[in-house]
Amino acid sequence: MSAAPLRLTDIVRDIEAGRTTPQAVLAATNERIDAGDGALGVFTHRAPETSRAEAAAAKGPLAGVPFGAKDVFDSFDMPTEHGSAIYRGHQPAADAPVIALARAQGAAIVGKTATTEFASLDPTPTRNPHNPDHTPGGSSSGSAAGVAAGYLAGACGTQTGGSVIRPASFCGVAGYKPSFRLFPTVGVKTYSWSLDTVGFFAATVPDVALLAALISGRPLADTPPADASGLTIGLYRSAVDDLLEPDMAAAWDTAARAIEAAGAKLIEIAEPASLSAAREIHAPLQNFEAAQALFHERTRHRALMGPKVLEQLDHGASVTPEEYDDARRTARIGRKAATTLFENADALLVPSAIGAAPYSLGSTGDAMFNKLWTITGNPCVNVPGLHAANGLPVGLTIVTRFGRDARALAIAAMLEQRLAVD
């Protein structure tokens, strides 16, 4: 069911060179979506004709780039329903800043992409473009699947546990979770204010780097290094590594050997107890905040909510303020400990998920290998290019020191190139 993903850098280059036009790119995009999305379920809403016409005439470096907005981001021209029956038909008056900034650069917001309810765990109808019997991951299900299907050259998502990196891995695309609060979460439905992070998807790492750079105005799209000479890469051995499936373990080893062959020095880093503890308090921290952020919905509209989000919210309501404060302290200690990981390493190489996308549409997969880096706020980039024995994608994550997003993207792009050659 999958088509070749759209390369954002190619679209920008071809339009600049006059080889195509924004109008032609967007017309072809909408034709592909019309023909195929009935089977995949990427979109919850498509842009109205007035917005399509405005996008086709837009100027700017992202003119002609089809972009998908996860349906927890406010949009002035399409409903924002948060994947919930409670918000059916809800129409904000304004775009979330990230959406407004993308439009200002010329991006065409072609539709709202499917999200699990309130970006939690109840699955969407979206299917994995590589095999429709497997989950695309979540909660940014539609954004990752839309890029993998060749409908979108870029998309935004959010990560509170693993909702950018894991679906990027499952769908075989690049996913970028920035340093915490690098991009505004204003106009995005809050689940956990200590953890919610805006992120992006694109076909390859250079594509997602260019997308993030143009939206943010930050120098995130550095030229990748020619090789890994002079880099020290840490293989982060965590307390949950025994959960890894053989395909992911093999991919981790393949990626490590590739970056070592490119000149990097590999070192083993054992997980400190403080970071194991930080991972373990993800649930009480997240769920306490979610129970407050969604208090109205939980108490007034329970009958309209999915069982998995309700389970998380009810757990959060049972967490005491004292337990929450303890979790916050543990998270703060973990963030300080995460900084020390980079005293001897330029970056870490870690799994993006337990394995390939599960054979299931009733689950979005497990975020166990993502939660820690969401808590610590470090920038993460899913590197696509490897596959499980059944042909489904598996990804590895490059993690760098907080605030070193450009370095994370550059090292990830170099690794992606090496995996393509090997």
| Residue-wise pLDDT tens digits, 328-381 | 999 999 999 999 999 999 999 999 999 999 999 999 999 999 999 999 999 999
**Residue 312 within any structural domain of the chain:** no
Nearest to 134 by CA among 354, 365, 351: 365
What total number of domains does the chain contain? Answer: 1
Q: Is residue 227 part of a domain?
A: no
Backbone angles phi and psi of 354, in degrees to 5: -65, -40
Residue 330 domain-assigned (yes or no): no
pLDDT score of 422 more than 90: no
Single out the catalytic residue among 120, 141, 163, 179: 163
Q: Tell the residue number behind the tokens 């303890």, with chain if given.
A: 326
* CA 291 to chain centroid: 23
Instruction: Identify the bridge partners of residue 399 per DSSP, sorted by sequence position.
Output: 348, 380
Whether residue 318 lies in the annotated active site: no
Q: For residue 350, what are the CA distances in angstroms to 182, 230, 238?
A: 22, 20, 9
Residue 60 inside a domain? The answer is yes
Range of the domain at 12: 8-216
pLDDT 10s digits, 302-316: 999 999 999 999 999
| Domain contains 158 | yes
Angle subtended by helix axes 405-421 and 246-261, to nearest 10: 100
Quote the percentage of the chain above a pLDDT of 90: 98
Mean pLDDT on 193-217: 98
CA atoms within 13 A on the CB side of 279: 18
CATH code of the domain containing 124: 3.90.1300.10
pLDDT at residue 362, rounded to an integer: 95
The confidence score (pLDDT) of residue 421 equals 87
Annotated catalytic residue within 70, 112, 177, 371: 70
Cβ-based neighbours of 157, under 8 Å, separated by 6 or more: 70, 139, 140, 143, 144, 163, 164, 167, 175, 198, 199, 200, 201
pLDDT the model gives residue 224: 95
Q: Is 265 a catalytic residue?
A: no
The rounded mean pLDDT for the chain is 98
383 found inside a domain: no
For residue 2, what pLDDT band results from cuts at 50, 70 and 90? low
Report the pLDDT value the prediction gives residue 349, as an integer from 0 to 100.
99
Residue 3: pLDDT band by 50, 70, 90 thresholds? Answer: confident
pLDDT at position 127 over 70:
yes
On the question of pLDDT at 53 being above 90, the answer is: yes
Helix (H, G, I), strand (E, B) or coil at 383: strand
Q: Is-contact 371 279, C-beta < 8 A?
A: yes
- Cα 321 to Cα 207, 288, 327, 331, 375: the distances in Å are 43, 8, 10, 15, 19
* Residue 28 covered by a domain: yes
Q: Is 163 a catalytic residue?
A: yes
Note whether residue 160 is domain-resident.
yes
Q: Which of 2, 84, 120, 139 is catalytic?
A: 139
pLDDT at 219 exceeding the cut of 70:
yes
Those residues with Cβ within 8 angstroms of residue 175's Cβ, 6 or more apart along the chain or in another chain: 144, 157, 164, 165, 167, 168, 169, 199, 200, 201, 208, 352, 381, 382, 395
